[in-house]
């Protein structure tokens, strides 16, 4: 018999198919096709507008990530999410992700719980370790403590989320002595759904499974079968720890660019990924790796709508994920092009994916 999960899990109804969402990291670079970079104010306004349009297009969730270095405008991702909450009514909202190792879990909970109240119960939290490390120097943390910071801060965040009054002591923060932390979400649990976000780390997947947290796996490229190994390791770890893997949701996410002409999509998308990854992540993305996007088994979702549908369904077959989240505005893509991708998603891709994933 499985033991009861102590965490607050997201409620996902897949009777009409897997949930579909949009996420943005708020990166801010020049459009590689024009060489021009829009003002920071315009980039932020477009992120807010994208959240509103995502709801209108029928998306289930919208996520905003944080980064605290050059080429980003998402340093205050909760503020941006708050603006989106005020402009929307139905769509779920989430951080994507909050870098909990360099944050104060008390403040993170206060901000997220406030957002939950503003949005009438639509907020979720993704806790991540960071793929960009400027935040650690900025806030005065030693990068050598990267792992220990994450483990301790995540544990405190979960403790706060699940208990109104907290007594706690750790290495990196002043102790809490029977302190009540407010506001609380106005739901039965008084807390928020919290996910463990990660990229290609099997160790992170196993760690999440061991404590019974749902996972959000971010993809860049590669064969879907290799990414499925992480998810299988996660479910095995969860079961070994006494949790029911069937009760733990999985989100798959990745870059997505589509046009009716698949060759056009390939031509247009690569410069954005190349420049975006180079400037934001200091990663040289080889064009030969990008060309693998033509393979329906690749997690790089670039091409004509039917190929994208086939890719997402193939990933779902391997991952048995309850949610798929697409990044459609990365690498200086012009907002008109972002909106065109969103239109194709809402009109063609999402309805087909939901039809084939109904349970």
Domain locations in the chain as residue ranges = 19-356
User: Could you tell me which of 107, 25, 13 has the C-alpha nearest to residue 332?
Assistant: 25
Residue 131 has pLDDT above 80, yes or no: no
64 DSSP β-pair partners: 24, 95
- What letter would DSSP give residue 215? E
Asked if 173 contacts 204 with a C-beta cutoff of 8 angstroms, the reply is no
Rounded Cα distance between 307 and 297, Å, is 10
Q: Is 71 left (phi over 0), alpha (psi -120 to 50) or beta?
A: left
Contacts of 298 (CB under 8 A, 6+ apart): 221, 222, 223, 224, 292, 311
Determine whether 75 is exposed, middle or buried from the number of CB atoms within 10 Å of its CB (0-12, 13-18, 19+): middle
Residue 31 has pLDDT above 90, yes or no: yes
Q: What is the pLDDT of residue 84?
A: 98
Rounded to an integer, the average pLDDT of 1-25 is 96
Q: What confidence category does residue 185 fall into, taking pLDDT thresholds of 50, 70 and 90?
A: very high
Rounded to an integer, the average pLDDT of 217-235 is 97
The hierarchical CATH code for the domain 19-356 is 3.20.20.30
């Amino acid at each position: 018999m499985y033991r009861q999960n102590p965490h607050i899990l997201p409620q996902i109804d897949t009777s009409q198919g897997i949930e579909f969402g949009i996420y943005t990291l708020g990166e801010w670079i020049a459009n590689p096709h024009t060489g021009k970079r829009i003002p920071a104010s315009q980039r932020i306004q477009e992120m807010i507008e994208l959240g509103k349009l995502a709801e209108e297009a029928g998306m289930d969730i919208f996520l905003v990530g944080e980064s605290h270095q050059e080429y980003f405008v998402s340093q205050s991702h909760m503020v941006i999410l708050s603006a989106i909450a005020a402009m929307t009514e139905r769509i779920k909202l989430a951080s994507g992700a909050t870098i909990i190792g360099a944050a104060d879990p008390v403040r993170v909970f206060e901000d997220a719980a406030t957002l939950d109240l503003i949005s009438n119960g639509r907020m979720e939290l993704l806790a991540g370790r960071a793929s960009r490390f400027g935040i650690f120097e900025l806030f005065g943390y030693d990068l050598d403590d990267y792992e220990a910071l994450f483990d301790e801060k995540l544990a405190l965040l979960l403790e706060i989320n699940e208990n109104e009054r907290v007594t706690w002591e750790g290495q990196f923060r002043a102790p809490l002595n029977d302190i009540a932390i407010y506001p609380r979400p106005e739901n039965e649990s008084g807390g928020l759904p919290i996910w463990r976000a990660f990229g290609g780390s099997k160790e992170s997947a196993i760690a999440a499974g061991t404590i019974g947290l749902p996972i959000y796996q971010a993809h860049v490229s590669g064969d879907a079968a290799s990414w499925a190994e992480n998810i299988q390791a996660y479910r095995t770890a969860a079961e070994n720890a006494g949790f029911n893997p069937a009760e733990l949701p999985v989100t798959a996410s990745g870059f997505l660019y589509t046009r009716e002409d698949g060759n056009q999509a390939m031509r247009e998308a690569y410069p954005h990924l190349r420049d975006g990854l180079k400037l934001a992540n200091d990663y040289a993305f080889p064009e030969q790796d990008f060309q693998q996007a033509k393979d329906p088994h690749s997690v790089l979702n670039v091409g004509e709508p039917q190929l994208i549908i086939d890719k997402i369904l193939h990933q779902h077959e391997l991952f048995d994920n309850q949610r798929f989240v697409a990044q459609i505005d990365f690498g200086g893509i012009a907002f008109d092009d972002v909106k065109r991708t969103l239109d194709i998603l809402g009109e063609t891709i999402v309805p087909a994916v939901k039809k084939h994933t109904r349970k």
